Structure 1
Amino acid sequence: MWWFTLAVGSALVFGLAGLFMKVSQMRRGSTTAMLLGLYASGTCGFWLQAAGSGGWTPFDYRIWIAGAVIGLGSAWGNLLFMKALDCGPASLTSPLTNSNIVLVVAMGAFFYEEAVSLAGIAGVVSLLAAVVLLSVKPGAASAEAGKRWFALVIAATLLFAFRNGGLKVTAEMGLDNASVLWSGYLLSFLWFAAATAAGSRRSSAGRSAAASFGSSSVRTGLAWGLAAGIGSYGGLQLYSAALLAGPSHLVAPIFATNSLVVALGSLLIFKEKLGPLQRVAFLLLMAGLALVRI
């Protein structure tokens, strides 16, 4: 059951990364700077891991192809996740985006012939019920924001499925996942470095780029992003190790409970308020994650 310990550890550590991202948002940190910091520290972490284990293979073209796909899912998934946090509560956004485990479980069942239990099926139904319930937004004014939030969450969920499911595929291919994540995080870092520089030039309005980079928003985002990157590196490294040791249809749902760290942290630290329908949806999401895990 070593894989179970690894999977639980991955959920706890990765959940801290999501919570740090929420803290950056609440302190008005720059989103692009935060993601730049995340992928900077994450890239360093995965490089040290891959090089230290002797598995670093930077000249294998498969590493770069896999890294591009997984990096796309991670970078754009995180970007849309942050935009969704601007429209809705983290206590719902994080658990809902983690419903991408349904796709990972389905991939394991159909392509790798991993059995799915009745409890797992019940969990999927619970998650889908929560999705339907969350789509109901009373009031004309809130309906517009609700639709935007829901669309962002769905898009982020699909992108995260590329990251989490992709690691299962690369593990089955025998690739070193630390190297895959290194290449994916490096490509994401380069993307957000360019985006941060471009945003800095647009907002400088006659000031130097250095002054813009030194703004409070950028400093806040970068600091919390660096911390989130450490959590992201640790969580994904544990997750990829758990995938090698255990079945993906169990490891992926356990990893998805990282949303509990974000949800509970947002409720306790930021005192987020949930309406009656949102409370029911939250319970359904938690129940679904728990059932799929069994």
Structure 2
Amino acid sequence: MWIVAAFITMICFGTNNMIFKWSTTNGLSKVHIQFIFYLIAFIITASYAFITGIHQMNIITVVLGVIIGILNANGNIQMSKAFEKGPASLTSPLVSVNTIIPILSAAIIFNEHITILQWVGIIIMLGSAVLIQYSPQSNGNNSIQYMPWLSRILLAIFSFGILGILMKTSSYLHIDSLNTLICMYGGGALYLCINSLFAKENWQKAEFKFGTIVGLLSIFGYSCYFFALNTGTASIVFPIVSLSCLVVVLGGCWLFKERLRSYQVIGVLSAVLGIILTKI
């Protein structure tokens, strides 16, 4: 079941990335959409906990949850700013390298045993994620602002990588996932509210609608994420979730009429091979 939960998380995160992609092309604020989805998700999770009875909340849960929420929000913001400084075809694969951080931590810190075949599968999946998102650029492109671009990428990698370690830590400490989600969404909403005040962007009605949709998908996705981490092998869960780019690629072909290149087809097939190897 934890494999299924990891796949559901992959689909939810991929769908949200598609919404972010659509919103960017239509002039909507990514910060505003994120703030709305964090706020909606916080209200829903807190209300559910109030009705069903919340488990004991301690300082470790609050601190971990808030940091996870801030890191996730900051990672998305840094990645979007990196797109403004350099080519997306190089930015996305580089940011996806963050998956290596929680995978290695699962083996080194949490002493998870990883077989040779599983290591091969993990490497193939990471390579597939890079291959699927790669798009050759013209050698005459001199628009990259290297230092600002690289600094944004490194901040995004750091944010998403540490986020994965902290999520595994919360499951390792047997912290109730609902408590973590409440603190995560509350801390992230506060962080994004502050960002929104500094950005001073105009609000649009569509941002509320799509923010709500993203919020609902995020709750479902992260609930499955925690379930997969609590019951499965984190070093396999992380690369499966990182393949959310599959959803973006296939969805782009359907919604945005983008053509799937031959190397992307190879990436899809190799991703499936990698997933099979991790289950052996």
State whether TM-score is above 0.5: yes
Query: Closer, same or farther in 2 for the Cα pair 1:125/1:230, shift >3 Å?
Result: same
Which SS does the other structure have where 1:41 is aligned? helix
- Structure 1: how far apart are the matches of 2:270 and 2:239? 12
Residue 5 of structure 1 is matched in structure 2 by 4
- The amino acid across from 2:274 in the alignment is L
Task: Map Cα deviations across residues 144-174 of structure 1 (whole Å, 9 max, x no partner).
Answer: 1577656544432331122222111011112
- 1:219 lines up with 2:205 in the alignment: yes
Residue 194 of structure 1 is matched in structure 2 by 194
Q: Which runs of 5+ in 2 are unaligned?
A: none
Residue 246 of structure 2 is matched in structure 1 by 260
Instruction: Check whether the contact 1:95–1:260 (CA below 8 A) recurs between aligned residues.
Output: no
Which of the residues 109, 112, 119 maps onto 2:110?
112
Residue 209 of structure 1 is matched in structure 2 by none
Which SS does the other structure have where 2:206 is aligned? helix
- Structure 2: how far apart are the matches of 1:167 and 1:50? 20
- 1:82 lines up with 2:80 in the alignment: yes
Query: Closer, same or farther in 2 for the Cα pair 1:130/1:173, shift >3 Å?
Result: closer
- 1:228 lines up with 2:214 in the alignment: yes
Calculate the aligned-residue CA RMSD, in Å. Answer: 3.5
Cα deviation for residue 3 of structure 1 reads 1.5
Instruction: Check whether the contact 2:128–2:270 (CA below 8 A) recurs between aligned residues.
Output: no
Residue 173 of structure 2 is matched in structure 1 by 173
TM-score where L is the length of structure 2: 0.80
- 1:250 lines up with 2:248 in the alignment: no
- Structure 2: how far apart are the matches of 1:135 and 1:262? 14
Instruction: Check whether the contact 1:84–1:153 (CA below 8 A) recurs between aligned residues.
Output: yes
- Structure 2: how far apart are the matches of 1:77 and 1:255? 16
Count of residue pairs brought into register by the alignment: 274
- Structure 1: how far apart are the matches of 2:269 and 2:237? 16
Instruction: Check whether the contact 2:93–2:130 (CA below 8 A) recurs between aligned residues.
Output: no
TM-score where L is the length of structure 1: 0.77
Which of the residues 96, 100, 103 maps onto 1:102?
100
Percent identity over paired residues: 22
Residue 42 of structure 1 is matched in structure 2 by 41
- The amino acid across from 1:144 in the alignment is I
Query: Closer, same or farther in 2 for the Cα pair 1:129/1:174, shift >3 Å?
Result: closer
- Structure 2: how far apart are the matches of 1:146 and 1:289? 34
Higher mean displacement: 73-82 or 111-120: 111-120
Query: Closer, same or farther in 2 for the Cα pair 1:266/1:153, shift >3 Å?
Result: farther
Residue 60 of structure 2 is matched in structure 1 by 62
